[in-house]
Structures are given as C-alpha cells and as structure tokens.
Structure 1
C-alpha cells in the first residue's frame, strides 16, 4: 500500500528538481490525487501504462510550478472578484466566495459534495482555480507577440490551408415519415400527381418536423444517416425520393435545394483567415517562450521511473 503524504518518511529523496528546488514525492502524490484516476497504480512496481501516465503527470506538474513562479515574477494577480466570477461561471449554484455565493454558509452545495467525494477541501479547489486563472493570463501574455497579422499573411494562410475554408456542398431537405409502407407508397404517388409535399407532411407525417411541412433543415454530406443520404444524393431540387425503410418507419424525402461546395473568395473569409493565422502565430510564439522557460529552469527528473 502506498504511503500517504503525511506518513512518508522525512528526508526522502525528491522525485525532481526545478532550478535546484526539490519536488518532493509527497507534493507530487498530492497533485496526482486531484485526478480521478489518481495517475495510475502506485507502489514500487507500477505497470508500464501507469508509469507513462505518472511521468506525464510529473511533466505537467513541473510545467505548472514553473508557470506559477513566472506569473509571480511578472506580478500577475487575480482579484477575489475575478475568482468569484470564474467559479460562478463554472458552478452557477455553487459557492463563489469564502462562505458561499451569498456570503452565508447554507447547506452543502453540489460542488462541495463532489469535492468531498474526492477528498479535496473547497478552499483547496478555489486555490487551484485561482492558479488556473494565473496560468491563463500568463499564457495570454506570453503569446501576445503573435497577435499582429498583416493582410498579406492572412492571404498566405488562406492559400496554404484551403482545407480550413473550403465549403462542403449543402442541401435542404424535407421528409414525410409514416408507420406503414402502403401509406408511404400512396403518398409518393400523390406527390407525383401534383399534391403538395408540405401539406401531406402536415397531415400524415409522424416526424417531429411535420408541423413545419416536413422541413428537416440544411445539411452537409455526412450529417444524415447513410440510408437518408443515399436516397437524397441523386435528387434534383424539388424532386421526391422513393420510400426508405428504417427502424423509425417509412420515409419519403423531398430535396428543396442544393448549395454547391467550393472555395470562398478571400474577401468573404478575411476575418476568419486573420483569426486563424493569428491563433497559430500566438501558439508558435508561446511554444518558443515555454521551451526557453523550461530550458532555463534546469529541470532534473531524479526518479528513473518518472522519466519520459
């Protein structure tokens, strides 16, 4: 049985060092306890999968400590109001302040019950939420240098990544669904004879869109079940399909129209291209900054079982 942090012998060897500062096993195990899977099996002989998971968790923990230390160096602060706003967004019915959302202790909230089941005090959870906010602000600041993107860079990005901008073909479709095939066959004949598909849908369809004249909506390839798309695929606008049997009943489809796919003009997606290019540029700037931070910290993994 693994020792609890409070029961571990004093002076035990650290699992890692960050710029000469030790990361104790107790600290690392406490971090693992915040995850539902506890980071995998503990003990002297963890299985290979668990060892890999624990190694990843240690890398995350070291990165988190470095980020928090850097946030402190840069003077980044999170106010109590900002913390309360984040907690309120995460759990509208949960406590947002030291004594709850309304400043009174009240009964145990759903949040507190969930934390209790994991053995995490509410104040400890709030501390971690504050740390998350600090790290978010630090990361945003670190990537600020990538926010500026020129028109030329946006155009280059648009040309280089057509997969992100190409529009798929879209089609608008209606359906009538009934419980038996004879009625479905009869409705197909009536539509071919000139009856209104929309009126027949309102009168006979058992589908949820019956009141809207059978209008299902506008879809792209792959949005609907294969049997539906096979029946719709060869239709021209305003044409009606034959009967398609599914577990829900007998369907008849009408194609209202198609919008061909293809590449839009740059001018139509200028802002999207700029936003995507800026996002990738910010990420590249941040990754370079993080690499420098990790290298300058002189991180040492001392426990061989926790090395990547």
Structure 2
C-alpha cells in the first residue's frame, strides 16, 4: 500500500466523504486551520480519544484510523476481484502509515504557503454535487456520512493543496526521455504483443449433463443434419439464427467475434484455431453440447509498434518515478518530523 501520486490522490478522492478525513483535513492552517484552533472544543466533548499516532502537533485517533480501514475493507467486499481480505491488524499498520504521510505532506504544503483558489474548490463541489442535485440534496447526502458542505470544502481544499504540492515538489523533477521509453519497450516485448485471435461463428445444440440416451441421440442427429446443410452450401449465419441454442450469439448469426486462446473451453478452442478462414469444423462436443464452428478470419500475433505506445510508456515510467521519489520525499519528511506511533490493537 505504498503511496503513489495517482493512487494516493485516488485514495483521498474515494474517501472524500469520510468524516475522519474531513476532520483531519480541517486541522491545518491557514485556510486549513490548525488543530489547536479547531479541535479543542471537540476534545472536550468526547472523552479522551485513543491516539494511534501524533504527527508534530496533530493527532490521528484510532476512531479515524478504524473508519478508514472499515471503508477499505467494505470496498474490498464489494469488489471480489480484489481477492481475499488482508489481515486487519496488518492493514491498520499500512493505513496508519498512509495517514501519517498525508499529514506530513499537507503540513509541509502549508509551511510552504501553498493554497488553492476558491474557483477550483467551487468547480470540484459542482462536480461532486452532479447534475440535477440541489444544494439541499447534497447537504442531506453528506449528513449521512457525518459531514457538512463546509467539511467537504475543507477536504477538497486539502486534496487540491496536496496535489499542487506533489506537482511542485516531486512531479516537476521527473523527466522521461526517448531512450528510457525505447529501453522499456525492448525489455518488455510481451507487454506490446497482441495474441493470435480467431473470428468464429458457431451453431450450438445444447445437451444437459443429465440428458437421457434418447435425448443425446436426438441432439446428435439434429446437429449432424445441420452440418449436412452447411456442407451443401446453405448460409451458415442463417442456419445459426434459425437453429442455434446459444442465446448470446444466435441472433447474430452465431457470430462470436474475435477471441484469443484461453477464452473458450479447450475442445472448442482447439477446433476453432485449427480451422483456416472460410472452413467449417465437423461436430465438436463440449460440456455445453454439440457445436459446428466456422472460422471467418484470423489475426496472427502482432507486436504493436513503438510509435503507437510510446506515450503510454512515458506516462507509465513517469508515474513509477514519481511514486519512487514521493516515497523518498515522505521518508525524508518523516525523518525530520516528530512522529510518535502508539497503535493499540483493535
């Protein structure tokens, strides 16, 4: 969970409506006020919050930390592609380090008198509010997250201030030349290869696993009759439209479009890639049933020319270098700061 320019800013944006971050964003002067100015009353109203870390004069409470961790865990549960959830205690350590880094960056930005004008904040507020949503509706939405529109403005100001700071202190120092781009292209050829693909149509006669022998015989007879019609020269697409039992391609004349290896079940893939354009397979049996496959065209393996990907490579290398320098910059800020971590177990 290292901080990267894009990833770090994305994390802030995703957590824009998090009350914990809204509170921390309001702690820094001048437009983002100091902790001593804003939190004294709140400290009196809540009894001795448990401190996870102190960053110079500012604190991170375990309540703020756990809210951030809960949000990350919740996003992971909503997106199975992220894989199994991490160990919570380990995640808390990573998130706390991220929150410390956020404070260090924001504090140094304020020290260097970086700020953003109100017009940019207004534009972000308008973007978040979205079309057709009134100010009252936005306020109600924020209320559900324990925030007010003024809290949101503070968060936006913090985000934009840090973004400007990173651009000035880190990103402006990164230069990627043509040789670096060319070296990366030559060192990673597989990144720029388009795999072999086949454009195929098929006719499917479904066969369920629990089908009786009589049903299997009937399905096989039917698909062989259709194959005979195809081999006599009847239009493959029309036969597919009239007879195929694949709802995804039936009304497209059985058209499956282009696909690379690894997309279809093995028996189907082997038959499709073995065909030459314009040729039709014999009956192919898979766990779905009986297929007749027609190869329309093929695309051989192709390496994308450097001229077509140089800009993407440059952006990638730039992001990687910004991330590396940002990590170093945060480490330097932390070394010279008064950071005390006292993370209790959840």
TM-score (norm: length of structure 2): 0.65
Tell me which protein shows more helix as a share of its residues.
2
SS in 1 for 2:278: coil
Evaluate the alpha carbon distance shift between residue 266 and residue 38 of structure 1 in structure 2; reply closer, same or farther with a 3 A threshold.
closer
Give the equivalent residue in structure 2 for 1:219. 259
SS in 1 for 2:301: coil
Match of 2:178 among 148, 151, 164: 151
Evaluate the alpha carbon distance shift between residue 144 and residue 177 of structure 1 in structure 2; reply closer, same or farther with a 3 A threshold.
farther
Q: Tell me the alpha carbon deviations over residues 136-160 of structure 1, each in whole angstroms, 9 at most, x when there is no partner.
A: 33334422322x3222221111112
Aligned mates of 2:292, 2:157 — CA distance in 1: 56
Any residues of structure 2 matched to 1:144-223 within 5 Å, and which?
144-146=172-174, 148-179=175-206, 180-206=219-245, 207-223=247-263
Match of 1:63 among 94, 97, 101: 101
Aligned mates of 1:277, 1:56 — CA distance in 2: 25
Structure 1 residue 208: Cα displacement: 3.7
Query: Over aligned residues, Cα RMSD in angstroms?
Result: 3.6
Structure 1 residue 57: Cα displacement: 2.7
Evaluate the alpha carbon distance shift between residue 204 and residue 23 of structure 1 in structure 2; reply closer, same or farther with a 3 A threshold.
same
SS in 2 for 1:17: strand
Aligned mates of 1:182, 1:88 — CA distance in 2: 64
Give the equivalent residue in structure 1 for 2:33. none
Structure 2: runs of 5 or more not aligned: 1-41, 75-85, 207-218
Any residues of structure 2 matched to 1:1-308 within 5 Å, and which?
6-9=45-48, 14-19=51-56, 21-23=57-59, 25=61, 28-34=62-68, 36=70, 49-90=87-128, 92-93=130-131, 95=133, 100=135, 105=136, 108=137, 112-113=140-141, 115-141=142-168, 142-146=170-174, 148-179=175-206, 180-206=219-245, 207-226=247-266, 228-241=268-281, 242-247=283-288, 250-303=290-343
8 Å contact from structure 1 (residues 167, 263) kept in 2: yes
Structure 1: runs of 5 or more not aligned: 41-47
Higher alpha-carbon deviation: 167-176 or 277-286? 277-286
TM-score (norm: length of structure 1): 0.72
Aligned mates of 1:186, 1:211 — CA distance in 2: 20
SS in 2 for 1:269: helix
Aligned mates of 2:229, 2:132 — CA distance in 1: 58
SS in 2 for 1:171: strand
Structure 1 residue 65: Cα displacement: 1.0
Structure 1 residue 303: Cα displacement: 4.4
Higher alpha-carbon deviation: 232-241 or 296-305? 296-305
Structure 1 residue 91: Cα displacement: 5.5
Kindly tell me the number of residue pairs found equivalent between the two proteins.
Answer: 278
Aligned mates of 1:201, 1:14 — CA distance in 2: 68
8 Å contact from structure 1 (residues 158, 266) kept in 2: yes
Aligned mates of 2:291, 2:242 — CA distance in 1: 15
Q: Tell me the alpha carbon deviations over residues 201-246 of structure 1, each in whole angstroms, 9 at most, x when there is no partner.
A: 2333353444443322222223345454244233232232324445
Give the equivalent residue in structure 2 for 1:43. none
Evaluate the alpha carbon distance shift between residue 210 and residue 289 of structure 1 in structure 2; reply closer, same or farther with a 3 A threshold.
same
Give the equivalent residue in structure 2 for 1:45. none
Aligned mates of 1:222, 1:190 — CA distance in 2: 30
Evaluate the alpha carbon distance shift between residue 303 and residue 267 of structure 1 in structure 2; reply closer, same or farther with a 3 A threshold.
closer
